[in-house]
Amino acid sequence: MDIVVRAFFAFVFVFLITRLIGRRELSKMEPFDLILLVVVGDLLQQGVTQSDYSFTGLVLATGTFALLTVAVSYLVFRFRRLRPVFEAEPLILVEDGKLIEKNLRRERMTPEEVAAEARLQQIASLESVRWAVLESNGQISFIPR
């Protein structure tokens, strides 16, 4: 039972960390970020199982994470009020060619990052953009004028 409780708290910790990191950072992982995720995963495993390398410990820890993932998914589907807590809402970054600085600061993004993403999508200038929306998966959607 100790492993299940530890897995529950590890799940909550990972959830909070991913919400704090932000969707933009998670969508563009650098090699260092990948290494960091592997190390964090190993540290979590050690904290959850406390060096319990048994098959039972594996099943309990993995099953708890899987069950919590399915439970969160179901709760978000079933109860609309929980969606803002568990899922990021799309965020408008550009409106009628003008950057919304408040939203950029909120996501810790620079105007240069938005402009670079626009260029990758064959948009020469932000002035030709009606809306730029940071989607919940970290991608930016551009809607031309």
Note down the domain range covering 7. Answer: 2-86
Q: Find the angle CA(78)-CA(79)-CA(84) to the nearest 5 degrees.
A: 125
Residues 114 and 51 in one domain: no
Statement to judge: residues 6 and 77 lie in one domain: yes
Predicted confidence band of residue 36 (pLDDT cuts 50, 70, 90): low
- The model's confidence at residue 56, banded by pLDDT at 50, 70 and 90, is confident
Separation in Å, CA 38 to CA 7, 22, 44, 45, 52: 17, 18, 10, 11, 19
- Indicate if 68 and 110 belong to the same structural domain: no
pLDDT digits (tens, 9 = 90+) for 99-145: 999 999 988 899 999 999 999 999 999 999 999 999 887 889 999 98
Structure token digits, residue 106 = 């909120």
Separation of alpha carbons 30 and 24, rounded Å: 12
Per-residue model confidence (pLDDT) at position 139? 87
Last residue in a domain, options 86, 104, 134: 86
- In this predicted structure, the answer to whether residue 47 has a pLDDT above a threshold of 80 is no
Same domain, 67 and 116: no
Residue 137 DSSP class: T
Same domain for 17 and 79, yes or no, is yes
Give the span between the Cα atoms of 71 and 58, in whole angstroms: 20
- Is residue 9 domain-shared with residue 80, that is, in the same domain? yes
Helices and strands per DSSP (H, E), number in the chain: 7, 4
Q: How many domains does the chain have?
A: 2
Q: Is this prediction's pTM over 0.75? A: no
User: Given the structure tokens 């290494």, which residue do they identify?
Assistant: 35
Could you read off the pLDDT of 57-75 as tens digits, one per residue?
A: 777 888 888 888 888 888 9
Q: Evaluate whether 97 touches 126 at the Cβ level (below 8 Å).
A: yes
Residues 81 and 129 grouped into a single domain: no
For residues 67 and 98, state if they share a domain.
no
Q: Are 94 and 123 in contact (CB under 8 A)?
A: no
CATH of the domain at 102: 3.30.240.20
Kindly state whether residues 58 and 111 are assigned to the same domain: no
pLDDT of 26 > 80? The answer is: no
pLDDT score for 33 = 65
List pLDDT tens digits, range 88-101.
789 999 999 999 99
Cα–Cα dist 20/90, whole Å: 16
